[in-house]
Amino acid sequence: MSVQIRAKDITLSEHNKTHLNAAMDQFKKYGLDIISTNIVIAKANTGVSVEFEFNIAHHTPVVINQEDKDLDAAIDLAVDRAAKALRRMHDKDVTRRGAGIKGLNVDEEVEIEEEEA
């Protein structure tokens, strides 16, 4: 997974960069094939704007926008919202898979073969 962090009109400290990288490591637990993540941090009218864009294989991109007066608070809120969105996407993938071939009832196939013979 490639991560790009861009800051517009704001200088990021090492603390903020490590905070974002730790959050990206947290998203790996959902087992989604995240191809790339773009993070844009910009100055907004009311404070700071944080945008996450996740490009996930076989899914539409997930975009999270968050504004707040404090940079750390905006990052935390955006990370929470992103975790919620990725968790829901993971849950949909798991429930759609269903039982698969192992869940098929074998008894019905045996009865059909016996009737033909």
**Number of residues assigned to the chain:** 117
**Residue linked to tokens 């790996």:** 28
Supply 25's token pair.
């490591």
More confident residue, 98 or 8: 8
Q: Report which residue type is found at 87.
A: R
Task: Render pLDDT for 31-86 as a digit per residue (tens, 0 to 9).
Answer: 888 899 999 999 999 899 999 999 998 888 999 999 999 999 999 999 999 999 99
Return the ∠ at Cα 41 (arms to 43 and 69), rounded to 5°: 50
Q: 3-state DSSP call for residue 84?
A: helix
pTM for the complete prediction?
A: 0.74
Q: Which domains does the chain have, with CATH numbers?
A: 2-116 (3.30.160.100)
pLDDT band, residue 94 (cuts 50/70/90): confident
Q: What is the pLDDT of residues 1-34, one digit of tens each?
A: 788 999 999 989 999 999 898 888 888 888 888 8
Q: Whole-angstrom Cα distance, residue 66 to residue 73?
A: 10
CB 1 within 8 A of CB 24: yes
Asked if 22 and 57 count as a contact pair (C-beta separation under 8 A), the reply is no
